[in-house]
Structure 1
């Protein structure tokens, strides 16, 4: 058994022509191409709609799109299965999703994690490898891509339903892989809640839970009888020069479901196998973080520090506060402390408590979200 699992596999302006030509040797290099050729099965995340017609939905964040001809690159790479349960699959609306599915079907590439109804989107994908039956379940956190009763989309993580889906899948398969599109971008550790959720999925039968979405390599946890990977970085996504986007991991599954990691490095518009000191640094950092999360209280403490840094960003979103040029200059001169200070002062204690209650309480949050969605006619049923 030799199964490869990679994260975001996305054509961008810098390499779209190589995808169109199916020039995998340029995109991967000879060594990585051989790794693909030697694999029995290859699973990736298609973080972009494949369509030639732009029909962007209203959302915050970018609306990604790639030409249908990009499929030539995926075929040349020998991709067997894509998860479509991600936050960009509906970036070009229902037409974009339909074109993506039709393109994959025509190319003979499987997909999992989307559907016209919630039940259809939740269906797993099952395949045979080396005499073993492997089940793949894909889900995504709630953003702008999830399925609704009257609208096609991605399978959302639902703690009242998803664990039962996984238990049922385990009953019919030798091994179960869960592809979970969630976690905070550019954060290399699990949040306390993400760790709790992933552990629950292992308890219900998942042998491997892979968290994709963070755009950075995170850490690994061996829990009970399963393995959890909290972030494997991108596979090939040339969209940022941020340090987090420069490295990634391929997950390799061997006989008896033994798991190992292949370090990757981004080279301009391409991806390459990491070698020598560079490969050693990637694996050693990954191992170090994996040991850190074993310490009692580490996950909670690390996340509290991260949350404190992120709080002004969320307060700014809620307030629609837009600082002027003079204030931005002063903020920069202060080491970027001035605006966070002003935001914290603006949100006095009683208002912050009201915001917390509106988000934390299930009844308030449900009503708040329904009201927000109802205000936007375009997303009224999403």
Structure 2
């Protein structure tokens, strides 16, 4: 019987301290894969108009050789940093990936209805689709696939007859929170109902839970992988390599390989108590799916404070650097319905904690 092992990792920038090889400690592990997936969270360009953001992610074009060296087979480029150097940086990045024969999903140098890739290994064909959240405007002459339910379902319908199984990459969620929203869970379930078998999430910069749903599997956030965690204001350097096993009938199993990101922004395998801690943590944050706890009320209590503080810090940085425009943006943002629900959730949680006798 045919079998295949997909390894998937989260956010990658290819930027390290002290000129370190970004994958030097995981190269041997990667050699065991059949297909290797990652989210490329950077622009590979020296030119282009820099966006007015609190964090702009750009890396040397030469760093693309690291991706080839460790055998990345497929990269998601549909994310909120792919336009950090404008359309010029975007085109330079995709041209570089094409030049180095690296497959990618979620974006294209021309306007296109479907940015997909099919990879066949060991007699099994996986079809990959990639999408991102983001309020940014996509220039007319290129394509970046946004998360829109009807469009994703339509794309799954188009691709599923040309491959054995469909894998959907989603750059989504709220940064630095440990749980996906009820809307995310609902969308993930619908995508599997319509023919996807595996959902690979990223963007929150922290790990989120893993859920088995029908014949499918959902990793809501793979977290950072090769990343400066201070840039993302992440409270942890812990992450994983996510291994998913297929045969001709579908997913047979999955395995988690815990890692931590060192002071040079390089992922390193862990053992002993650290490994056990990460595995226990994933088990803990996956439990609410089983218990059916993730309601809107519960979720806003869990994420309200983190979301508000993180975004306020980002606005403060931009206001200091760029002045009036981000100040006005911040003012209007403070009164958005989402923020109001975060205020209510945070207040509700504070009242609950007071009732339990916890110190504010």
> Which residue does 1:230 correspond to in 2?
220
| Cα offsets for 1:13-71 (capped at 9, x unmatched) | 515x33xxxx46xx432xx221111212211111001012242134x432211111111
Q: C-alpha distance in 2, partners of 1:219/1:143?
A: 26
How many aligned residue pairs are there? 318
Q: Sort the Cα spacing of 1:299 and 1:280 in 2 relative to 1 into closer, same or farther, 3 A.
A: farther
Counterpart position of 2:98: 105
Q: Residue 218 of structure 1 contacts residue 229 of structure 1 at CA under 8 Å; is this kept in 2?
A: yes
The 5 A counterparts of 1:74-223 are 74-117=67-110, 119-120=112-113, 122-144=114-136, 147-148=138-139, 150-223=140-213
Q: In structure 1, what is the equivalent of residue 12 of structure 2? A: 9
The TM-score with structure 1 as length reference comes to 0.75
The answer to whether residue 261 in structure 2 is matched with residue 266 in structure 1 is: yes
- State the shift of 1:153 in Å: 4.3
Pick aligned residue for 2:239 from 248, 271, 275: 248
> Is the contact made by 1:9 and 1:44 (CA closer than 8 Å) also made in structure 2?
yes
**Distance change in 2, residues 1:312/1:238 (3 Å):** closer
Structure with the larger strand share:
2
**Per-residue deviation, 1:5:** 1.0
Task: Report the equivalent of 1:71.
Answer: 64
In structure 2, C-alpha distance between the alignment counterparts of 1:100 and 1:52, rounded to whole Å: 10
Aligned partners of 2:164 and 2:117: how far apart in 1?
13
User: What SS does the aligned partner of 1:119 have?
Assistant: coil
Task: State whether residues 229 and 237 of structure 2, in contact with CA within 8 Å, keep that contact through their aligned partners in structure 1.
Answer: no
Is 1:89–1:153's contact at 8 Å kept on the other side of the alignment?
Answer: no
Superposed displacement of residue 300, structure 1: 3.0
CA drift at 1:308: 4.1
**After TM superposition, which residue ranges in structure 1, 4 or more long, deviate above 6 angstroms?**
314-317
Q: Kindly state the Cα deviation for residue 252 of structure 1 after the two structures are TM-superposed.
A: 1.0
Query: Which structure would you say has the larger RCO, counting Cα contacts within 8 Å and 6 or more residues apart?
Result: 2
Task: Give the structure with the larger helix fraction.
Answer: 1
- The SS at the match of 2:98 is helix
Q: Which runs of 5+ in 2 are unaligned?
A: 320-330, 342-360
> Shift of the alpha carbon at 1:356?
3.6
Please, which of 277, 302, 305 is the counterpart of residue 306 of structure 1?
302
Cα deviations by residue, 1:49-97 (Å, 9 ceiling, x for unpaired): 1012242134x43221111111122121211211101110010011101
Partner of 2:271: 275
Say what the alpha-carbon RMSD is for the aligned residues: 3.0
Measured against aligned partners, the alpha-carbon deviations of 1:313-360 in whole angstroms (never above 9, x if no partner) come to: 59979x99x99xxxxxxxxxxxxxxxxxxxxxx99xxx96xx549x99
Shift of 1:116: 4.0
* 1:312/1:245 CA distance change after superposition, 3 Å: closer
Larger Rg, first or second structure (1 or 2): 1
Change (3 A) 1:315 1:5: closer
TM normalised by structure 2 equals: 0.80
Structure 1 gaps, min length 5? 324-345, 361-382
2:28 aligns with: 34
Contact map agreement 2:175 2:307 (CA 8 A) in 1: no
